[in-house]
Amino acid sequence: MIVLGIESSCDDTSVSVLKDGHILSVAVNTQLEHIQFGGVIPEIASRAHLKNFPEVLEKALSDSGLILNDVDAIGVTYGPGLVGPLLVGVNFAKGLAYSLKVPVVPVNHIEGHIFANFIDHPEIEYPFIVLVVSGGHTEIVFVPESEKYELCGKTRDDAAGECIDKVSKMLGLGFPGGRIMDEYAKSGNKDFEFFPRGMKNSHDFSFSGLKTSLKYYIDKHDKEFIKSNLNNIAASFMDSVTDSLADKLIRAAKKHNCRTVLLAGGVSANSMLREKITAQSVKKGLKFFYPQPKYCTDNAAMIAMSAFKKIQKYGIEKFSFDSELDAVPFLPLSE
Ligand code: KG4
Ligand code: ZN
């Protein structure tokens, strides 16, 4: 069974080839057009996907050693995400599926992030608790069985990734800030300054107060001080973000008496977050899984894996070429 995965929900154009549950290749073009604006511009992203898809498809196919005619099914992200970018990916998938006469498997982007864990860890068993943490989402989900999702808590304002990106910009470290902040924090002292932890006693998250407190902190100190303490400030800030994320995940696992915890989404590549959850998991005897960094941020391998899991569960006959398939920008995880 060869599945082609297609992802374009934000600013990464990606195609992946999967064979019998194993990823053969994944090609990603992360659009650099947005750096000068300090954020993703939807129309520029849509046009860049339009231009990039043929090249990214070529790369994924040549790296896999297969040809287009080998493909048995196409998995594509149809939401949630930016509507223009999603439409380009859905239409590209439909065009390919129409000409190849193969079925399309529609995939929820967030479900894709969760299934990314199965790429390197097919041994993961249900039930599990997963922290989905990206630029657009921060939520804890209890997953009792395949494709059943119960929301345990979510952000009331900013997503963690959004907050990290904004603070990185305030500190003059650039966009997107996650990886840069991670690197600075590694050489910093996390006890340099204490920043608040939002909604400490709730299952939900809040990051906007933390963002504001960073803004006050930066305004209060002179530029030279900030510049010479970037690593310490990054470490203290990331300590606050990761304390909230790790504590609530472990608490949710306890509440549901669940022995397995997972990370999903771009921020799950963060080293401090992984270290904290690893330490807590060891202490509490939990199994802890997370995807390798290239499968944490947006990629089509997670979409191919989700499509494969659905084909395994329901059979290929359940899926067809659906000319009605459309982009759904606010698609919920479970309906
Ligand atoms: O999942 P993703 O690629 O796109 C969305 O669906 O949003 O996540 C992107 C987010 C960005 O906010 C980015 O700064 C953050 O993930 N990120 C990180 C790291 N790598 C990416 N945040 C913290 N540490 C990292 N190493
Ligand atoms: Zn994502």
pLDDT tens digits, one per residue of 164-188:
999 999 999 988 899 999 999 999 9
Dihedral class, residue 257 (left if φ above 0, else alpha if ψ from -120 to 50, else beta): left
Ligand 2: distance of its center to the CA of 28 in Å? 13
Task: Kindly list the distances between the CA atom of residue 257 and the CA atoms of 202, 220, 261, 281, 286, in Å, as whole numbers in the listed order.
Answer: 18, 45, 11, 13, 10
Give me the pLDDT at residue 153, please: 96
CATH topology of domain 125-292: Nucleotidyltransferase; domain 5 (3.30.420)
Give me the pLDDT at residue 36, please: 87
Give me the pLDDT at residue 335, please: 67
In the chain, CATH 3.30.420.40 covers 2-115+299-318, 125-292
| % of residues, the chain, pLDDT over 90 | 94
> Counting atoms of ligand 1 from 1, which one is nearest the CA of 137?
7
The response to whether residue 136 sits with its C-beta less than 6 Å from ligand 1 reads: yes
> Nearest residue CA, atom 24 of ligand 1?
270
**Structure pTM?**
0.95
Three-state secondary-structure class, residue 105 = strand
pLDDT digits (tens, 9 = 90+) for 192-221: 999 999 898 899 999 999 999 999 999 999
Average pLDDT of the residues in 293-303:
97
Instruction: Write the single-letter amino acid at 29.
Output: N
> Counting atoms of ligand 1 from 1, which one is nearest the CA of 9?
6
The response to whether residue 245 sits with its C-beta less than 6 Å from ligand 1 reads: no
The response to whether residue 177 sits with its C-beta less than 6 Å from ligand 1 reads: yes
> Counting atoms of ligand 1 from 1, which one is nearest the CA of 113?
1
The response to whether residue 134 sits with its C-beta less than 6 Å from ligand 1 reads: yes
CATH 3.90.1110.10 correct for 2-115+299-318: no
Question: Which listed ligand is nearest to 175 at the C-alpha?
Answer: 1
The response to whether residue 264 sits with its C-beta less than 6 Å from ligand 1 reads: no
Q: Are 85 and 46 in contact (CB under 8 A)?
A: yes
**Mutational pocket test of ligand 1: of 117, 164, 173, 181, the residue with most ligand atoms within 8 Å of the beta carbon:** 164
Residue 4 binned pLDDT confidence (cut-offs 50, 70, 90): very high
